[in-house]
């Protein structure tokens, strides 16, 4: 009987020692941090910081993009994740990811009841547009009030202002003040359609109130627009006294 008890004791001692060691190892593992959190700043050459930041959220890291500085700040990431983030940024920040530019030209035309527009007042490239307007509306003449050019990157907002003196009232040539802005611009999946979100045109146009005198009338247009590259499209018309203001827009993608 004593021999049996002694043998059991010999077996139990190593098992107890193993259990104790395993317990210590578990406690040691629990005491160790899961991983050191690190921060890093990345300067991008081509890719859009906002779009890259959205993709990097898969790594469960805090990422702050700065479009103006074209940079990404990875504020909190665990060590191994940071290595994966660095590799992802290297793959994403390549020349093909560079944002394309979109150029827009806005022509402001005035249709009126007075015949006899000055020769050359309408640019040659708008001849076909004016022909369509004459077929659609009863105005006797059309003249160019202003041309505004706007350039922006895909996904970004942009605006421009103009003050032209294309209107003559008596001996006065009061300025026409215009602001043209968009919330964003994008390229359709067909690569030929340009999408313009929240196109906004605001104009202050002098209108004759009495012989030689004038007051200002504020008019505007607000629209979302899909336009094929290179086409000239009449976006809208607003009434101005006995005349009308037409916005003709063309847009194209440039590298």
Please provide the DSSP assignment of 27-85 as one string: HHHHHS-S--EEEEEEE-SSS-HHHHHHHHGGG--EEEEETTTTEEEEEEEEHHHHHHH
pLDDT tens column, 184-241: 998 887 889 999 999 999 999 999 899 889 999 999 999 999 999 999 999 999 999 8
Give the chain's domains with CATH numbers.
37-97 (3.30.1370.120), 101-254 (no CATH)
Q: How far apart are the first and last CA of the chain?
A: 94
Separation between Cα atoms, residue 79 and residue 85, nearest integer Å: 10
pLDDT in the model for residue 118: 47
Q: Residue 79 — very low, low, confident or very high, per pLDDT cuts 50/70/90? A: low
Asked if residue 251 lies in contact with residue 103, where contact means CB atoms within 8 angstroms, the answer is yes
Phi-psi region for residue 170, left (φ > 0), alpha (ψ -120 to 50) or beta? Answer: left
Q: Residue 96 — very low, low, confident or very high, per pLDDT cuts 50/70/90? A: low
pLDDT, mean of residues 163-167: 83
What is the model's pTM? 0.64
């Amino acid at each position: 009987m004593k021999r049996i008890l002694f043998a059991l004791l010999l077996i139990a001692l190593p098992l107890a020692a193993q259990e104790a060691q395993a317990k210590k190892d578990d406690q040691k593992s629990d005491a160790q941090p899961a991983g050191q959190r690190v921060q890093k700043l990345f300067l991008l050459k081509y890719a859009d910081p906002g779009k890259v930041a959205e993709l990097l959220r898969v790594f469960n890291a805090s990422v702050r993009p700065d479009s103006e500085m074209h940079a990404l700040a990875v504020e909190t990431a665990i060590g191994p994740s940071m290595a994966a983030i660095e590799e992802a940024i290297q793959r994403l920040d390549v020349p093909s990811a560079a944002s394309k530019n979109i150029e827009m030209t806005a022509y402001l035309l005035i249709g009126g009841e007075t015949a006899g527009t000055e020769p050359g007042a309408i640019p040659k490239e708008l001849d076909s547009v004016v022909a369509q307007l004459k077929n659609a509306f009863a105005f006797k003449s059309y003249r160019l009030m202003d041309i505004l050019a706007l350039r922006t990157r895909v996904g970004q907002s942009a605006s421009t202002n103009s003050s032209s003196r294309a209107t003559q009232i008596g001996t006065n040539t009061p300025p026409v003040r215009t602001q043209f802005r968009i919330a964003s611009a994008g390229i359709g999946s067909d690569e030929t359609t340009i999408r313009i979100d929240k196109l906004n045109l605001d104009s202050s146009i002098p209108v004759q109130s009495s012989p030689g005198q004038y007051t200002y009338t504020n008019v505007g247009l607000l629209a979302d627009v899909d336009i094929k590259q290179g086409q000239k499209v009449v976006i809208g018309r607003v009434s101005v006294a006995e005349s009308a203001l037409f916005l003709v827009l063309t847009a194209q993608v440039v590298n």
